[in-house]
């Protein structure tokens, strides 16, 4: 089948127009054959450009597709696309951040991993991360004021130093240098004197240092020995004491010995309690009837009378 020249020309023209449209949209950052998913968010102002990157954890996963101004809300509406393989929550945050001093701005997906998954066309909340440039702009007034104060102080210091150098009077730099020279000579003479003293007593100083070294070594050895001996002895005595206490407590627990029986044997306790009660009644009877006990060796027997409740309460 033979194709006419007119049909060939029409096919070439249509192909050229389609190619032009594709290249024009590609240069704008749009890909006609892309299957990326579109979302949108809003900011108070526009700090982005077309095709600004969209990242997650520092990796580029999409780009800004469109930026428009909403006249009703006064917000900047930003539409962006991401790779369809990316899945994130609808409650995530889209963060506007600076990529560098000269790198412009970008969007970052901060996934919250909560709630339902975001779908095409969903609105995602946004936030702005303060950057270096914005922080400097906010604080530029304070920085400039501090810098101005610093420069003024430096200028005053340089003026004072200049006046000191150019002063040729006795109170100026020459007098100061003279005093400094005198001081250095005094230190020099003093160092010579100290050096002569050290040379004259070199042997004595050496002997003293040796004696001090020997004494310190002996003291160190003695202190180590005393520390080891006393510490080991103390630990041994403390260990023996603990063993004796544990043995004594075990005997008490088993009911052995007088104290153990007293703690464990109820019968012995009851007997002691009854004997105490009898002794208390005997002392009370002696107090109430002393005549009975003065004639205890007499032939006349005086019968025992139990104390009344009144007598018990009084005594």
Phi and psi of 68, rounded to 5°?
-145, 160
pLDDT at 170: 56
Q: Which residue in the block uniquely carries the two structure tokens 């991401």? A: 82
CB atoms closer than 10 angstroms to residue 95: 16
Residues with Cβ within 8 Å of residue 280, at least 6 apart in sequence: none
Given a cut of 70, the residues of the chain with pLDDT beneath it are: 1-3, 22, 24-37, 101-103, 131-147, 159-174, 225-232, 252, 258-265, 268, 292-305, 311-315
**Is the separation of the CB atoms in 216 and 209 below 8 Å?**
no
pLDDT at 213: 84
**Is the separation of the CB atoms in 56 and 86 below 8 Å?**
yes
pLDDT at 143: 55
pLDDT at 273: 82
* Distance from C-alpha of 186 to C-alpha of 256, rounded to nearest angstrom: 89
pLDDT at 226: 62
Question: What's the length of the chain?
Answer: 315
* Distance from C-alpha of 121 to C-alpha of 36, rounded to nearest angstrom: 12
**Is the separation of the CB atoms in 307 and 281 below 8 Å?**
yes
pLDDT at 33: 47
* Distance from C-alpha of 99 to C-alpha of 147, rounded to nearest angstrom: 28
pTM: 0.37
User: What are the pLDDT digits (tens) for 215-247?
Assistant: 888 887 777 766 665 666 777 788 888 888 888
User: What are the pLDDT digits (tens) for 248-283?
Assistant: 887 767 777 766 666 666 776 777 788 888 888 888
């Amino acid at each position: 089948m033979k194709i006419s020249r007119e049909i060939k020309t029409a096919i070439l023209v249509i192909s050229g127009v389609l190619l032009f449209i594709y290249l024009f949209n590609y240069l704008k950052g749009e890909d006609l054959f892309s299957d990326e998913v579109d979302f949108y968010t809003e900011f108070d102002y526009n700090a982005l450009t077309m095709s600004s990157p969209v990242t997650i954890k520092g990796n580029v996963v999409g780009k800004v597709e469109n930026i428009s101004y909403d006249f009703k809300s006064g917000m900047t509406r930003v539409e962006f696309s991401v790779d369809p393989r990316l899945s994130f929550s609808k409650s995530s945050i889209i963060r506007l951040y600076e990529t560098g001093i000269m790198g412009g701005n970008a969007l970052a997906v901060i996934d919250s991993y909560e709630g339902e998954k975001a779908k095409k066309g969903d609105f995602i909340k946004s936030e702005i991360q303060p950057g270096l440039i914005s922080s400097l702009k906010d604080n530029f007034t304070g920085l400039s004021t501090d810098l101005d104060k610093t420069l003024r102080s430096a200028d005053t210091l340089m003026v004072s130093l200049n006046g000191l150098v150019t002063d040729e009077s006795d109170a100026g730099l020459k007098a100061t240098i003279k005093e400094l020279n005198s001081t250095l000579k005094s230190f020099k003479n003093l160092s010579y004197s100290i050096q002569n003293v050290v040379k004259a007593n070199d042997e004595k100083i050496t002997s003293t240092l040796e004696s001090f070294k020997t004494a310190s070594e002996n003291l160190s050895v003695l202190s180590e020995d005393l520390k080891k001996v006393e510490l080991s002895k103390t630990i041994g005595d403390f260990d023996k004491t603990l063993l004796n206490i544990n043995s004594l407590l075990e005997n008490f627990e088993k009911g052995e010995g007088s104290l153990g029986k007293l703690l464990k044997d109820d019968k012995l306790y009851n007997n002691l309690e009854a004997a105490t009660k009898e002794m208390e009644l005997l002392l009370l009877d002696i107090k109430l009837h002393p005549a009975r006990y003065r004639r205890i060796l007499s032939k006349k027997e005086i019968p025992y009378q139990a104390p009344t409740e009144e007598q018990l309460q009084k005594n």
